[in-house]
């Protein structure tokens, strides 16, 4: 038995509204190239989250990509004072920069406490941990935990014990992470991805790649990032239509 025209119109209208609702909830793929010891990446991550809140109709599918801010630092890390003298000339010279970073972080509700940092790490193992977290927890959560440890607590990210505890804090298997860190698992992969970013011309982080087409470099404001999300998501919706 076929429905009456009125019933058929009602069903069709409901189906149309359902399709419109599904299409309005767009998903946008975002590649974030960053390093956990980069203070502007720390701030940029928070600004991306705020930008996402400004675009509630767009779901961000974020892939965290590795970058070595200081590739010259040995795997065991170096003393923070030595690092500041080598890179900036002196700790005093960096203090001026740190004031600006701390002010920017505070504006986003973040704490930047450089005086607590005693050791500058090589971040290869941090990036391995973020990679492994894809199958066990949220990589964004793992990234945030490592950043919080470093920037607010002064944690030594070159110490495997610190990394194992961070993994456990994020719901990962501590024993498995301990075994993986003691091996060379994914070392070549992380180094290859980090090198590929530089070969692609990325020489500053954070770098946000929206939908594979719109590139934003630097910890831009939430409003600026929100605009990039809106433009890219809108373009992809039109292409699908």
User: pLDDT by residue (tens digit) across 227-236?
Assistant: 999 999 987 6
- The CA distance from 67 to 201, in Å, is 12
CA distance 135 to 132: 6
Which among 112, 117, 83 has a CA at the least distance from the CA of 99? 112
Instruction: Give me the architecture of the 26-240 domain, per CATH.
Output: 3-Layer(aba) Sandwich (3.40)
Contact 64, 139 (CB under 8 A): yes
Residue 111 has pLDDT above 90, yes or no: yes
CB 47 within 8 A of CB 109: no
Query: What sign does the CA torsion over 82, 73, 109, 233 have?
Result: positive
pLDDT at 25: 64
Nearest to residue 158, comparing CAs of 228, 83, 107? Answer: 83
User: What is the distance between the alpha carbons of residues 61 and 41, in angstroms, rounded to a whole number?
Assistant: 18
pLDDT in tens, 56-76: 999 999 999 999 999 999 999
Model confidence, pTM: 0.88
Q: What is the pLDDT of residues 164-179, one digit of tens each?
A: 999 999 999 999 999 9
Report the pLDDT averaged over residues 15-22: 37
pLDDT(202) > 80? yes
Q: Name the CA radius of gyration of the chain, rounded.
A: 22
Domain residue limits, the chain: 26-240
Closest by CA position to 48, among listed 61, 35, 36, 66 = 61
CA distance 113 to 59: 32
pLDDT digits (tens, 9 = 90+) for 209-232: 999 999 999 999 999 999 999 999
pLDDT band at 205 (very low <50, low <70, confident <90, very high): very high
């Amino acid at each position: 038995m076929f429905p009456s025209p009125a019933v058929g119109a009602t069903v069709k209208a409901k189906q149309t509204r359902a399709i419109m609702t599904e299409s309005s909830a767009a998903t946008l793929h975002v590649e974030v190239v960053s390093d956990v010891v980069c203070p502007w990446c720390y701030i940029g991550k928070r600004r991306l989250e705020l930008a996402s809140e400004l675009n509630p109709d767009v779901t961000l599918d974020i892939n965290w990509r590795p970058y070595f801010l200081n590739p010259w630092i040995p795997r065991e890390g170096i003393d923070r004072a030595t690092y500041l003298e080598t890179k900036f000339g002196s700790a005093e010279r960096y203090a001026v920069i740190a004031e600006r970073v701390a002010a920017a972080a505070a504006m986003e509700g973040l704490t930047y406490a450089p005086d607590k940092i005693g050791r500058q790490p090589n971040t290869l193992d941090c990036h391995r941990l973020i990679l492994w977290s894809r199958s066990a927890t949220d990589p964004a959560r793992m990234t945030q935990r490592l950043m919080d440890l470093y920037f607010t607590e002064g944690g030594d990210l070159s110490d495997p014990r610190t990394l194992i505890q961070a993994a456990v804090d994020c719901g990962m298997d501590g024993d498995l992470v301990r075994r993986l860190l003691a091996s060379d698992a994914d070392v070549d992969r992380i180094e290859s991805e980090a090198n590929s970013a530089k070969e692609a011309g990325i020489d500053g982080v954070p770098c946000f790649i929206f939908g594979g087409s719109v590139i934003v470099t630097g910890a831009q404001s939430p409003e600026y990032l929100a605009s990039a999300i809106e433009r890219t998501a809108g373009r992809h919706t039109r292409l699908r239509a």
